[in-house]
Amino acid sequence: MKGSVMGSGVFEDRYNPGMENTPPTSRRTILKSLAGLGMAATGLTSCQSNSNLSNSGIVRKAKAGAQYMGQFAAAPLERIRMGFIGTGARGSGHVAQMLLMEGVDVVAICDNHAPAADSAARRCEKAGRALPAVYDQGDEDYLRMLEEVELDAVIVATPWLWHAPMGVAIMETGAHAFLEVPLATTVDDLWKLVDTSETTGRHCMMMENVCYGREELLFLNMVRQGVIGEVNHGEGAYIHDLRHQVKEIERGEGTWRLAHHITRDGNLYPTHGLGPIAQMMGCERGLDRFERIVSFSSPARGRQLEAARDWPANHPRNQQKYICGDMNTSLIRTQHGRTIMVQHDVTSPRPYDRLNLISGTKGILAGFPTRVALDPEGKGAHGWTKGDGLKPIYEQYEHPLYVQVGEEARRAGGHGGMDFIMLWRIAYCLRNGLPMDQNLYEGAAWSAVSPLSEASVASLGEPQRFPDFTRGRWEATPELAVIGS
């Protein structure tokens, strides 16, 4: 299983029959930018072609021996031998929280930055556990870890371009892959993950923690109980002022995330706002699926202004052109004609917001701050209920999962407890041989918003069709239920 890591090459898919799309994104151009910025080399190579698109341009033939993973459940594991790749800001938190879970052994840690790997390993020792095997010898040392250590599951929290090749390698060595958001940045790489999961029979779950937020769980429960009637529209966003990343030169997201803003223009990080809304709507499982998307970006200003504020004129940060529009607004139309707006802005001085809005024939639920307006009898809903007024709503509709582990999750921390609940569920489902709450195809569809929005922005808003990663089987998988434990 040694050898070169997969790359996506030039983005060649045609999502729209009869329409040539050559979006600006390619791993190669991003790597060039990384090199230009003196950022870490990644060793990724390009290699892909897209010869087996069907006539519709949105479905690919399954590989020999593939199985549908919609409700896939693996054999139960009494204890989980878990490995980690990437123990920076995010991955180190995953290690700390997994040490709290019953039946989980942290047995291997990999990070190409030795102090990050070492500090995660020491954390295990401090928790009274055995010291895990450490792999810190460069970009591809994770391959050695996968070869040498017998692992049941591996959590990946590395820069985005590594998610897909690492996910493929993990599944090919027989472990389940749990990848940070997004699953991948190109449609080609998303298909690669789908094919590998289907042929190896291993989980490939994107770890969308926001699906486990208290408000998101509450809304899911209310939607499933029919409180807002027939759902017809949703809105999600990632609005987070991350301009400080322009200052990060040695460590941190600024060392790799910025390169995406130099080479790509679109909705670069869609899944936090979108995932929970898509689950409420039952997209890619049972009720509906994403069908097409249109996308527009505003002018790109914030990163350039920030670079000018932080660095002298001749600094590399000031010699780059940041092309990703400050605000990207994308609109998804589902197969049943419902709509979802998805926004991305990490460059403007705005308070954090994910919108988290879902609207139906009997009412509307929204976030930031949590608000509810209901009209069960058709008499009108012209004001929001919020703050203390929501007490009866929480009493009636608090999600059973939150009732069960919310207190423990709040104590553990991590985005208000959502990280803990997600990791708790992953461990629980693996140990009990249950399907994951977010399946392979949901992760792929939510992640596809990035490359498809880039294609739409590049073609001045031409609609782009979503691949059907389920190959027509999404209706066979029930929508996510309101799960207890």
Binding site for ligand NAD (CB under 6 A): 85-91, 110-113, 116, 139, 142, 157-160, 162, 180-181, 209, 252-253, 415
Strands 357-360 and 231-239 turn out to be antiparallel
How far apart are CB 138 and ligand NAD at their closest, in Å?
A: 8
Bond before 182 cis per omega within 30 degrees: yes
Least Å distance, CB 415 to ligand NAD, is 6
Other C-beta atoms closer than 10 Å to the C-beta of 403 total: 11
Tell me the closest approach of the beta carbon of residue 346 to ligand NAD, in angstroms.
11
Nearest residue to 473 (alpha-carbon basis) of 432, 434, 441, 430: 441
Nearer to ligand NAD, 21 or 158 (CB): 158
Measured from the CB atom, the residue of 41 and 47 that comes closer to ligand NAD is 41
Please report, as a single letter, which amino acid is at residue 382.
H
CB of 130 to ligand NAD, least distance (A): 21
CB of 112 to ligand NAD, least distance (A): 4
Closer CB to ligand NAD, 21 or 185, in the complex: 185
Cα 75–Cα 77–Cα 80 angle in degrees, nearest 5: 135
Helix segments in 8-53, DSSP class H: 27-36
Residue 41 phi, psi dihedral angles, 5° rounding: -75, 150
178's tokens: 């749990």
Structure tokens at 202: 């291993």
Which residues on adjacent β-strands are paired with residue 18? none
Pair of tokens at residue 36:
């230009």
Instruction: Calculate helix-pair angle for 187-200, 160-172, nearest 10 degrees.
Output: 20
Rounded CA gap, 427 and 337, in Å? 36
Closest approach of Cβ 357 to ligand NAD, in Å?
A: 20
SS (H, E, C) 348-403: CCCCCECCCEEEECCEEEECCCCEEEECCCCCCCCCCEEHHHHHHHHHHHCCHHHH
Rounded to a whole number of angstroms, the minimum distance from the CB of residue 159 to ligand NAD is 5
Smallest gap from Cβ 249 to ligand NAD, in A, equals: 12
Given the complex with ligand NAD, which of 179 and 228 has the nearer CB atom?
Answer: 179
Residue whose CB is nearest to ligand NAD in the complex, by number: 88
CA 63 to centroid of chain Cα atoms: 25
Considering the complex, state which of residue 283 and residue 422 has its C-beta at the smaller distance from ligand NAD.
Answer: 422
The DSSP bridge partners found for residue 109 are: 84, 134
Beta carbon nearer to ligand NAD, 161 or 294:
161
318: closest CA among 327, 309, 329?
309
Least separation, in Å, of the C-beta of 311 and ligand NAD? 20
Residues 6+ apart with CB under 8 A from 82: 98, 104, 105, 106, 107, 151, 152, 153, 154, 155
Distance CA 255, CA 328 (A): 22
Residue nearer to ligand NAD on the CB measure, 116 or 223: 116
For the bound state, the minimum distance from the C-beta of residue 263 to ligand NAD, rounded and expressed in Å, comes to 17
Give the residue with the Cβ less far from ligand NAD, 12 or 208: 208
Cβ-based nearer residue to ligand NAD, 140 or 152: 140
* Tokens at 51, concatenated: 């010869």
